[in-house]
Amino acid sequence: MPAGQMILSAFFFNPQGDHRMSWRHPAAPTTEVFGLEYYQKLAAAAEEAKLDAIFIADHVAIWDLLPSGLAHFANPRLEPVTLLSALSASTRNIGLISTISSSYWEPYNVARQIASLDHLSNGRASWNLVTSAMPEEAMNYGRDENQEHATRYQRADEFISVVKRLWDSWEDGAILFDKASGDFADVSRVHSLAFKGEHFKVRGPLNVPRPPQGHPVVVQAGSSDAGKDFATEHADLHFAILKSKEEGAAYRADIDRRLAKFGRSPGSFKILPGILPVVANSRSEALERQASLETYIPDRMQLDLLSSWSGVDLSGYSPDDQMPELPDEGTYNGGRTALDRVRKIAESGATIREIATVLANTGAVPTVAGTASEVADQLEEWFAAGAADGFNLMFPLLPGDWLGFCREVVPELQRRGLFRKEYQPGTFRDRLGLRRPSNVFNPDRK
């Protein structure tokens, strides 16, 4: 990524948009979200606009333990690696970020899947590593409740270490295909792991050659202390939840201190805050459009979501009550980033209803609303202040908001010299300005 240009990633969690109830909007898609053509159109628009990546979030469960879950927001979706593999055939340049949990998968499977996607896409694969925090997810994998928070990150640390070793288990140039001699590979360049840790025992090597990027780009989104330490040790991109450019600047300073602890430079780690862009003929019209989406979310569901995020059963409280005492973050085994968001809003004196409304509708991600020029102004302010290397674009309603941003805001950013007009040659890692990692088994051999 050339200096002075921002990274833009088109993110989606719900197939109809990043408002949880966007599926109720008259213009929202229905069953087409389970077919390929819908995503091909979105990917084509993103690539035409020269966006850096498509970023697919994921859970490995239906949200249904609370009363409104299955009724209003079960949120089924396609498996992301499968979907991105299909999209790799109809795109040529855009990065492909897939969420995969380290909590309930095995390192060998993940290393093989992401390496395969990297080969199929000519070096465009990326893995968003998450540690699953929903009890519904645990129940799908033989457990009655979540793993302890510390255990999840210990497992994740070991998990990613194994995955990177598996990617390195074939050195560059190890495969010979020497038909005359019969030598398929240079055996001195192929390595077993013989790894035995607390959580995993893996022999290796991988049965896929080293990926074109060396290591496909690793993304991480945890904002707890453990999450930020994990991200700064292992990840390349960081998805952050930030309320303002001032908070973003402070967050960047904290991240830079953590990077130094692991011997890394600030340039090796890109921070992409989530933002909710709403483009219209005026700022007031954009805000009205966003407010109209908020009318689709039932009151019961808002309270259930807040119960889930806070770890507190709110069924016996009035929506106009203050938030009761929250769990101690140090012992909480749910999502600590979500708990921290609840705590910060509660400290302002907001009622249960007010907290639930904010988090259920935006998830604490700031809305950037207005005309294309006004949206570009707000993104430029954050970027110029050093609060972000770019943005995860979380469009409220798909496909309309995704297509509108690509058609209207991107040309404005290009006109200002803040975003590319053409893709540079190379892999996804190359375009982000990230170096290709050396091989852990032989770091000095070229």
Kindly report, residue by residue over 272-288, the tens digit of the pLDDT.
Answer: 999 999 999 999 998 89
Confidence grade of residue 3 (pLDDT, cut at 50, 70, 90): low
pLDDT at 349: 84
Residue 317's Cβ-count burial label (10 Å; 0-12, 13-18, 19+) is middle
Kindly tell me if the per-residue pLDDT of 266 is higher than 90: yes
Whether the per-residue pLDDT at 149 is higher than 80: the answer is no
Judged by DSSP in three states, 274 sits in strand
The band of 134, judged by pLDDT with boundaries at 50, 70 and 90, is confident
Of the chain, the percentage scoring pLDDT greater than 70 comes to 95
The β-bridge relationship of strands 195-196 and 201-202 is antiparallel
Confidence of residue 51 (pLDDT cuts 50, 70, 90): very high
Provide the sign of the torsion angle of the four alpha carbons 309, 397, 55, 121, taken in this order. Answer: positive
Spans of all domains in the chain? 7-281+366-431
Q: Say yes or no to pLDDT of 61 above 70.
A: yes
Residue 213 has pLDDT above 80, yes or no: yes
* Spatial distance between the Cα atoms of 112 and 206, rounded to a whole number of angstroms: 7
Query: Can you tell me the distance from the alpha carbon of 152 to that of 160, in angstroms, rounded to the nearest whole number?
Result: 12
Peptide bond into 205 cis (omega under 30): yes
User: Does 3.20.20.30 match the CATH number of domain 7-281+366-431?
Assistant: yes
Cα separation, 327 vs 305, whole angstroms = 16
Distance from C-alpha of 192 to C-alpha of 203, rounded to nearest angstrom: 6
- pLDDT band at residue 65, thresholds of 50, 70 and 90? low
Percent of the chain past pLDDT 90, that is, above it, reads 66
Q: Three-class SS string for 53-115? A: EEEECCCCCCCCCCHHHHHHCCCCCCCHHHHHHHHHCCCCCCEEEEEEECCCCCHHHHHHHHH
Does residue 129 register a pLDDT over 80?
Answer: yes
Name beta bridge partners: 101.
130
Confidence class for position 327, pLDDT limits 50, 70, 90: confident
Res 90: pLDDT: 97
Average pLDDT over residues 75-102: 96
Whether 300 has a pLDDT exceeding 70, the answer reads yes
Number of DSSP helices (H) and strands (E) in the chain, helices first: 16, 13
Q: Is the Cβ–Cβ distance between 293 and 25 less than 8 Å? A: yes
Greater pLDDT, 71 or 324? 324
Please tell me the predicted confidence (pLDDT) of residue 249.
Answer: 92
Q: Is residue 74's pLDDT more than 70?
A: no
303-306 own/partner pairs: CB under 8 Å, 24+ apart: 303/352, 303/356, 304/66, 304/67, 304/68, 304/69, 305/20, 305/356, 305/359, 305/360, 306/342, 306/352, 306/355, 306/356, 306/359, 306/360
pLDDT in tens, 340-378: 778 888 888 888 887 877 777 656 688 999 999 999 999
